[in-house]
Amino acid sequence: MSESSPRPRSGAASDGVERGDVLSMRGITKRFPGVQALRDGRLELRRGEVHALLGENGAGKSTLIKILAGAQPPDDGEIRLDGVVRRFASPMEAKDAGIAVIYQEFNLIPALRVFENIFLGRDRAALGWLRTGDERRAARELMGRLGVSIDVDRRCDSLRVAEQQLVEIAKALAARARIIVMDEPTASLSEREVQTLFQIIRELRGQGVSIVYVSHRLDEVYAICDRATVMRDGAHILTRPIGELPREQLITAMVGRPLDAEFPPRDGAASDVLLDVRGLERRGVVGPVSLRLRRGEILALTGLVGAGRTEFVRLLFGADRATGGELHLAGRRIFPNDPRAAIRAGVCLLTEDRKQQGLLLGRSVQENFALPSVASWSAGGWLDLRREPAAFRRRREELRIAVSGAGQSAGLLSGGNQQKLVLAKWVERDAQVFVFDEPTRGVDVGARLEIYQLMRSLTRAGKGVLMVSSELPEVLGMSDRILVMRGGRIVGEIDDVGRARQEDLLALAVGGVESR
């Protein structure tokens, strides 16, 4: 385990909750056309425990959760709740049995108020025809139980992501859920919001609620979970108390092979300034921001959610129009007034939301790859049909993109392969500056290392990488220099990354200190 990793939990409960298996899933199988999604799915969940469900993308975790939630029927296997065999024909049956799933994409109606979302779909007759006032009071009581203060009359589209997540938890408690599945619950949260969520999880555990915690962030698993179940290739690999699982052993169980390191070594090959940003701003939103990115360098840009990082890189890419400042690339001033101009100048952006902004999920992987390069493969208005498939084959092999064929839909790829596909199209364009906005969000530990290695291969080729990340271990493990943003401006710079600590970055991010 790295020095920055939290101390593993012992697996022994200290909250006084009586233990016993509330859920047992054994021998669960599920086949889809051409795919064996589950061949031996297993999960044993005790009352009042936080249980990590881990594995690479495609390991079968999502399918197992959907079967538990009644969204899909198993082909075989047994589910027991409190020792009684159950089979859920619908999500409503699973909810009635006390099972709630909080997915990454929340199931809230934005135009409805908080209390309306909490009680939406409840059988009012069974509740004695609750009046609106009763629902408001009940919603406030639930928020009090969670230890938070959210106005239950606010519309959900006015809430921050962390607040929407709390509404989802309140919904689960309103339905008297005793098992809550949280799927990547911290993907869009700041460090402070993560700690708030952890405190709520601890309180729920003390109340006897069982939590299934699905995450690729191992530091969080060690910080909050009691036990861990690892799946690989649709099968159960192990279930152990988290305190008995060294980090290296856990990673090996997930990927099926030992990894030499979680992060590739630094090259120390940074040279002359490649990108010079001078006072770039969008008045009232972000900036002015000035920075220099060198060739062969990974420059990390971090800070709390809302610090202005994504807004800044959108200005770099021309997705938003700047109101001031200058950009110089390789000594030449550029004017990225729109994404096309940025791409022509040699700047590319791998967006935080690759599904909505980086890919056309309904189109083939080859079509997605080709989009930025079609013009360069054309002459006299005619497209050279031989160059596109040849280029795709070359980049597919080079970046080890796992696809069934060039015609496969991009929406069917795992998160790691989607990210590599986005990278492939920019490598083909021979971009000079690669901006990665949250490059490994929702990506498993094995694919993360591959993406990190690809980023290092770009710097060895003399490119510049600007990496926006909220994950402090990633920032410390991958960057050559670190810039910290707060309130739309850069408030700190760390050159000696090898000596930096997570506490140093947090102090800058929350305003404890400023430095340059």
pLDDT averaged over 10-residue windows placed end to end, the chain, 516 residues? 42 47 94 86 96 88 93 94 92 92 83 88 51 83 82 89 84 88 82 84 92 91 96 94 92 83 80 94 92 95 85 92 94 91 90 73 87 70 74 85 86 80 83 90 79 90 92 91 93 91 84 52
Residue 351 in domain: no
Q: In this structure, are 173 and 283 located in the same domain?
A: no
What is residue 130's predicted lDDT score, i.e. its pLDDT?
53
Domain boundary (413, 430, 447) is at 430
Q: In this structure, are 326 and 289 located in the same domain?
A: yes
Q: In this structure, are 298 and 239 located in the same domain?
A: no
What is residue 361's predicted lDDT score, i.e. its pLDDT?
83
Domain boundary (177, 208, 228) is at 177
Q: What is the DSSP letter of 17?
A: P
Give 316-350 pLDDT, tens digit per residue. 999 999 999 999 999 999 998 999 899 889 999 88
What is residue 384's predicted lDDT score, i.e. its pLDDT?
66
Q: In this structure, are 319 and 378 located in the same domain?
A: no
DSSP string, 362-412: TSBHHHHHHGGGTGGGEETTEE-TTHHHHHHHHHHHHHT---S-TTSBGGG
How far apart CA 30 and CA 18 sit, in angstroms, is 33
Give 185-195 pLDDT, tens digit per residue. 887 777 777 88
- Domain, as residue range, for 497: 270-346+432-516
Q: In this structure, are 78 and 158 located in the same domain?
A: no
Number of domains the chain is built from: 4
What is residue 201's predicted lDDT score, i.e. its pLDDT?
92
Q: In this structure, are 91 and 143 located in the same domain?
A: no
For the record, the structure tokens of 457 come out as: 């291969």
Residue 370 in domain: yes
What is residue 126's predicted lDDT score, i.e. its pLDDT?
45
Question: Is the CB of residue 358 less than 8 Å from the CB of residue 434?
Answer: no
Residue 363 in domain: yes
Going from the C-alpha of 345 to that of each of 140, 332, 507, the distances in angstroms are 53, 10, 36
CATH number of the structural domain spanning residue 56: 3.40.50.300
How far apart CA 303 and CA 507 sit, in angstroms, is 10
Residue 402 in domain: yes
For the record, the structure tokens of 56 come out as: 């690479």
Domain boundary (260, 294, 324) is at 260
Q: In this structure, are 118 and 54 located in the same domain?
A: no
Entry field: residues in the chain: 516
Q: In this structure, are 441 and 500 located in the same domain?
A: yes
Question: Is the CB of residue 294 less than 8 Å from the CB of residue 270?
Answer: yes
Q: In this structure, are 233 and 331 located in the same domain?
A: no
Residue 201 in domain: yes
Residue 90 in domain: yes
Residue 42 in domain: yes
Residue 265 in domain: no
Q: In this structure, are 118 and 172 located in the same domain?
A: yes
Q: In this structure, are 173 and 186 located in the same domain?
A: no
Q: In this structure, are 219 and 114 located in the same domain?
A: no
Q: How many Å from the N-terminal Cα to the C-terminal Cα in the chain?
A: 31
What is residue 14's predicted lDDT score, i.e. its pLDDT?
42
